[in-house]
Amino acid sequence: MKLKQVSSIPDELLTIDAKSLHSLIPEPTLFHLPGKQQQPLFISVLLHGNETTGFLALQKLLIKFRDQKLPRALSFYFGNTEAANQGLRRLDHQPDYNRIWPNTELANSSETQTAQEIVNIMAKKKVFASIDVHNNTGLNPHYACITKLEPHFLQLANIYGRLVVYFTHPKGVQCGAFAEICPSVTLECGKPGQAHGVDHAFEYLNSCLHLSEFSNNPVPTQDIDVYHTVAQVKIKEGTHFSFNNQQSNLLLDKDLERMNFTEIPAGTQWGRVFDHSDIPVTAINESGMLVTDKFFSLTDNRLQLNINTMPSMLTLDERVIKQDCLCYLMEKIKL
């Protein structure tokens, strides 16, 4: 489907819910609204159809400026409205809308073409900054993600909060594509459906809209904590694990989920191991090397951390752990 571009918004957009949005905007549509400063701020929401916080925050922003001129031009895009209609991340036949952007590893499709077209259009408009808004699962704090450790990126991320994650994988994400043409962030606004998540995202979008320029001074290091992923942790194939079944090979600690985005000291126990002489998890670094022994050891049948680290994405959902991984481990970056 061809990308549509429009320069006004229908009134219904201010009141509609994410489920009904598809009926109002059935085709891929890029909106451009004028503002006092001409270089537009770009916002994308609903790249994952069930992550509604960004949509609600953007709607709040549009309501606020309904009768006044925007401080800066604003362009925005509603990602997967079809999946939003079903309350799903994506539909079975669709690619992930946050893996389709320039530099993607996915095959060419109408979705990758639309994404490329959006980036081309925004590059021509000399986009000021880009914000892509998401939600996640599990107990995670709000944080911003960046793909470049440059002052303007750090500044844009720091407006959302002190917690920042630097990442270079996966490829084809919106944030990485826009990073080639302007300062760019992804917001992770906690679980969907939380009013304080919407308020926080709205305040952030509003602040960015009022930002007249980026400062060339570095962000004060005491105001920001930047982490990067150093390993992905999986349970070893064939290991029976559980959070409550005493009969399993690996009985994981029920408090694990609370460790997300908390600096956990060396020696912390993650679980107990039965009928097993080797470590029942694997840790793989970003270049695909096995680094299990750096992070974990087995002492008196206790699985424990060897070094201080900060986990993320820990969940108590055994299905997610089997399908995906147990967690990621992060390290603080010295700026």
In the complex with Zn ion, the residue whose CB is nearer, 32 or 48, is 48
C-alpha to C-alpha distance for 251 and 242, rounded to whole angstroms: 5
Q: What six digits make up the tokens of 28?
A: 């891929």
**Contact window for Zn ion (CB under 5 A) among 50-58, 100-108, 172-180, 196-204:** 50-58
C-alpha to C-alpha distance for 80 and 26, rounded to whole angstroms: 10
Q: What six digits make up the tokens of 175?
A: 């944030």
Site string for Zn ion, 149-178 (x = CB under 5 A): ------------------------------
Site for Zn ion contains 48 (CB under 5 A)? yes
Q: At what angle do helices 53-64 and 195-210 cross, to 10 degrees?
A: 50
In the complex with Zn ion, the residue whose CB is nearer, 102 or 190, is 190
Q: With 0-12 CB in 10 A as exposed, 13-18 as middle and 19+ as buried, what is 278? A: exposed
CB of 191 vs Zn ion, minimal distance in Å: 12
Question: How many residues of this chain interact with Zn ion, rule: CB under 5 A?
Answer: 3
3-state DSSP call for residue 4?
A: strand
Q: Please state, in angstroms and as integers, the Cα–Cα distance from residue 286 to each residue in 157, 159, 317, following that order.
A: 23, 28, 24
CA angle 250, 291, 299 (to 5 degrees): 40
In the complex with Zn ion, the residue whose CB is nearer, 48 or 234, is 48
Site for Zn ion contains 200 (CB under 5 A)? no
Site for Zn ion contains 99 (CB under 5 A)? no
**Contact window for Zn ion (CB under 5 A) among 46-54, 80-88, 276-284, 285-293:** 46-54
CB of 136 vs Zn ion, minimal distance in Å: 7
Site for Zn ion contains 134 (CB under 5 A)? yes
Which residues sit at the interface with Zn ion, rule CB under 5 A?
48, 51, 134
